[in-house]
Every structure is written in structure tokens, then in C-alpha cells.
Chain A
């Protein structure tokens, strides 16, 4: 089976033709350079995404704390990660990179604060 996919590694945005055999990439064509091949392989075998969102924040001047996964998580886990993030409430003070959720959705990745927030005096 041949799939068309756009490479997003650089602004060339090559429309690549990716030949697949079941879940394996057999060949890549119409790619401008080798980075396209690497991207196609990753995207077809184990696509990953960063997840960023906010959690409820108490005891601070603002009511939401922005959070992020510390590294990309498998794409198919994104919905589960969001579900767990939406259950969390945090109390200020918080420091940037504090762990908010450990091993979110059993991905082995932590959700961390993406900024600090002081407590209200």
C-alpha cells in the first residue's frame, strides 16, 4: 500500500510517497532529503506528540496552571493523557518543572508545570 504523507521536518514540506507492507515502511519516495525517510519511519511505526494543557490551580492569582508532558508521548495515548490531566487540581506555590503527574497514562513520562506560580499572600 502506498500512503501519501507530508514531511514536516523543514519548510520544504515534501509530499512523500511511503510504500507500506502491513506496518512496515518498505520505501520512501518524493522526499527532498534523508530526514524525510527518518520522519516517515517514526511517524509510521511510533508517532509521538507533546501534550500541553492546563490544570485547576488554587491559592494563586491565576486559576489555571499550564502543564506539559516532559517529553513526547505515543500519539494513541494523547486522549488518555488529557483525561488524567483534567482530573488534577494543584495548589500554589508551584515551581517550573515540578512534577504534576507521575508516569501519566502509563507512558513512563511525567506531566510537569510549564511555569512557576506564587501563592497568594
Chain B
């Protein structure tokens, strides 16, 4: 059986950035496995611009960012297998992949990095009643059809969910000649960036219906009409508020979920809040030598954050392979009041480098609030924030010296200060 130092599952922005970092820190035997025919992951279908402002100091399109990253990957000796899918991983770090040339192959790794991204929530996951008809699809699927394959999915389009992918697709389909009749959002606020609300909806007079959801899908064999309803504070549809609109395509932009399916059989600690695995400051899971970064760990809005996270992960993978980590007790990091989740969930103080970056999201939009990091009753850091939004991942770096005495950490946000 072939033996390698490190297998990276997925060649999107996370996998590539991680691979480069691992190689830079002196590990030579790296195998990166990518299901698609080329590297880049989701970036290849995101042809809009707005990527990489921090990393490349200019706003790139998705494919442009991917290509710049591919060029740096090519500078190192990284064994890349394209058109190859990882189908199994064992606790003993045997990785099974399959492709046309080699068939089913098993390799033995010393470290494994999960960088396999996320998937979109589909109709089944929110169970919209009505007919099972054609042309109800996720916004990302429609994006792929249009931007990679050149097919338009409809002429009269409605979008459920105001996440960024849905907003980007509203503009994209309008520019290609479709009529986008509206975007419905069940929450009282939009889940997209305000820049996308302005440039993707307002620029084209596409209405955004807040507190509204799709309550019936009608059509056979293809979609003909949808019914919408207003919802109450508990997000339940209000009786007699229904209205309907004739459409031939419904796009769902109702959230992303980390794709951890390859880890289902393994005994790893999970975090119900991120719906992924829990990791420590080295992005290592509870199973030693298993790492995760990018959208498989937590859903990111900005590719720059993915890049930086994966870079730190790569540095730590290299440290693990060179010297191993010191065994020590873990500090637990918890999401407190108004905080939806925090990554990393665990912290080892001795292993920690100079500082540690925490990523987290708030549960609801808040203005004039205070972010507080506590260790028991002890307040380690307080930061005043004028605005915090669930649509934007927050980052905070804490220095090692500050954390040395800390027990368990709680991140919380208080309003009205």
C-alpha cells in the first residue's frame, strides 16, 4: 500500500491554501484528491467579482482567484489527483479513493486534512408542501448550469432565501434575460451582504419580501406556480395571507451545511452549532492527525478567511508531522449569549503559537453592542461593536499570554450598552 505523509481531501480554496502551507513548512509527501476535473472548487462557478481583497489586494472573480491559487500550488511538489473521489476514511488513516485509471485504491496517511467544502440545503430539508415537479433547484446548482455549462434554468424565476448565492443569481439571471419576480426571506432581515442587496436586487428593481416564505409548489410535470405566505414571529405562516405567482423556476438559497459525510463512521467529537466537527487551535479534530479547514469546518462568506484558516491549518499539520503535539488538557470554548457558534471549540495552551484566531457568528443583527470573552467570571477582553450581523463571520485574535491562565472561554454579545 502506498504511504504518504498527508492526504488532503478536496482541491478548493481551502485544500490548495492548506497544501501550499504544508509544503512551505517542509513536508514533501502530500497527496491532494479532487473529485472534479480541475482544482478550484466552488470558485470556478462564482464568476462574479468580490474575491480576495485581502490576499491579492484586489477584487478578483472566483475563477481568477482560483487560478492565482493554482499557480502557487504548482510551485510545489504536490501530487494532485483530479477526477478522483475519496469514498472512505478509517480511524487508522487509510484513505480509499476511486478514479477511472486506477479503480479503487487505498493509501496509508500519517495526517488527513478534510477540505471538502459544504453542500446546499435542499427542498427536502425544509419540506415545502406541494407537487414534486421539475425546476425547483438550489441556487448553486442553477449557478453551475449557467456559468459552467451555459444553460438557463428558467425565464420567470423566484428565489427563496436571501443568502448571497440567491442574490448573486438574481442579478446573473436578470442580466441573461430572465425575469426575476422576487426574493422571499422568512426572517425579518436579509441574510445577504448589503452590497449584494443593493447591486443585485435594487439595481434591477427586484423586490425583497421579508417575513415571507413559499408555502406551496404547484405544477406537473414542471413548476407552474408558487404560493407565498407571510409568517408570524414564530416563523409560522399566517392564515389568509397567501398570494401566488406564476413562475417556471424556483431557486432555493436557504443555507449551506458542512459536508462531513466521510466522517460519519468515525468516532469524532462534533459541534451541533456548526453542524460539523469540533477542532482545537491546530484545526485538529478529537482524533489525532485528522484536520479540517474551509467550508467543511464552518461556512465562510469570504474566500480570504478560508485561505487564512487553511494556511494556519497547514502550518499545524506540518508541525504535527515534524514533532507531534504535546498532550495536554483542553480549554473548552463556548458560544454564550447571542453567539451562534465559535471555532475553534477547544484550545491547548502549550501547543498554541503566539496567538489564536477565533471565528464566530452572532444569532441576530445587533447594533451598539459589546463582545465579551470570559473565563469564568473573569473578563479577558471586551470589544465595542457598532454593528454585528449573522451574515458576516466575525474574527478575533487573542494572544497566547492572555490565555495562559484561562479556564473555559465563553464568547458572548450584549446589546444596548
Residues of A within 8 A of B (CB): 6, 8, 11-13, 32, 49-54, 56, 61-64, 66, 68, 75, 78, 82, 96, 114-116
Q: What are 23 inter-chain pairs, A to B, with CB distance below 8 A?
A: A6-B194, A6-B197, A6-B198, A8-B198, A8-B199, A11-B193, A11-B392, A13-B194, A50-B59, A52-B48, A52-B49, A53-B175, A53-B176, A63-B149, A63-B150, A66-B61, A68-B64, A82-B175, A114-B63, A114-B64, A115-B61, A115-B63, A115-B64
For B60, give the chain A residue with the smallest CB separation.
Answer: A114
Q: Report the bound CA distance from A96 to B66 in whole Å.
A: 11
| 8 shortest interchain CB distances as A-B pairs | A115-B63, A13-B194, A66-B47, A8-B195, A114-B61, A64-B150, A114-B64, A66-B63
Residues of B within 8 A of A63 (CB): 149-150
Is B37 an interface position by the 8 A CB rule?
yes
Question: Could you mark each residue 247-262 of chain B with 1 if its beta carbon is under 8 Å from any beta carbon of chain A, else 0?
Answer: 0000000000000000
Asked whether any CB of chain A lies closer than 8 Å to the CB of B288, the reply is no
CB distance from B191 to the nearest CB of A (A): 14
B203/A54 in contact, CB under 8 A: no
Q: Are A54 and B198 in contact (CB under 8 A)?
A: no
Specify which chain B residues have a CB less than 8 angstroms from the CB of A49 in the assembled complex: 199, 203
CA A52 – CA B150 in complex, angstroms? 14
CA gap between A52 and B147 in the complex, in Å: 10
CA A52 – CA B387 in complex, angstroms?
A: 31
A78 CA / B147 CA spacing, docked (Å) = 18
Q: Is B148 close to A, CB under 8 A?
A: yes
Chain B window 139-182, contacts with chain A (Cβ cutoff 8 Å), 1 for yes, 0 for no: 00000001111100000000000000000000000011000000
- Number of interchain pairs (Cβ within 8 Å): 68
CB pair B147–A12 under 8 Å, yes or no, is no
Contact A115-B150, Cβ < 8 Å, known A6-B194, A50-B49: no
| In contact, A116 and B67 (Cβ under 8 angstroms) | yes
In the complex, which of the residues A50, A51, A52, A115 contacts B66, with contact meaning CB atoms closer than 8 Å? A115
Cβ-defined contact, A8 with B67, below 8 A? no
Rounded to whole angstroms, the CA-CA distance of A12 and B387 in the bound complex is: 6
Q: How far is the CB of B47 from chain A (nearest CB, A)?
A: 4
List the A side residues contacting B59 at CB < 8 Å: 50
CA distance A32 to B367 in the complex (A): 13
Report the nearest A residue to B63, measured CB to CB: A115
CB-nearest residue of chain B to A12: B387
- Decide if A11 touches B387 in the complex (CB within 8 Å): yes
Q: For the complex, is B386 an interface residue (Cβ under 8 Å from A)?
A: yes
**A112 smallest CB distance to B (angstroms):** 10
The residues of A that contact B386 with a CB separation of less than 8 Å are 12, 32
Residues of A within 8 A of B194 (CB): 6, 8, 11, 13
Task: Give Cα distance in the complex from A116 to B40, angstroms.
Answer: 13
Q: Does B73 sit at the interface, judged by CB under 8 A? A: no
Residue B95 interfacial (CB < 8 Å): no
For chain B, residues 236 to 275, give those with C-beta under 8 angstroms from any C-beta of chain A.
none
C-alpha gap A116/B37 in the complex (Å) = 15
- Judged by a CB distance under 8 angstroms, whether B389 is at the interface is yes
CB distance from B204 to the nearest CB of A (A): 10
Q: Which of A11, A62, A68 contacts B49 (CB 8 A)?
A: A68
Residue contact A56 to B150, C-beta cutoff 8 Å: yes
Question: Within the complex, which residue of A54, A68, A75 is in contact with B147, where a contact is CB–CB below 8 Å?
Answer: A54
**C-alpha gap A54/B175 in the complex (Å):** 11
Count chain B CB atoms within 10 A of each CB in A6, A32, A115 and give the residue with the most: A115
A96:B64 contact, CB within 8 angstroms:
yes
Residues of B within 8 A of A116 (CB): 67
List of B residues within 8 angstroms of A11 by Cβ: 193-194, 387, 389, 392
Given known A52-B48, A52-B49, A64-B148, contact A78–B175 (CB-CB < 8 A): yes
In contact, B198 and A52 (Cβ under 8 angstroms): no
B49 cross-chain contacts in A, Cβ below 8 A: 50, 52, 68
Chain B residues whose C-beta falls within 8 Å of the C-beta of A62 in the assembled complex? 148
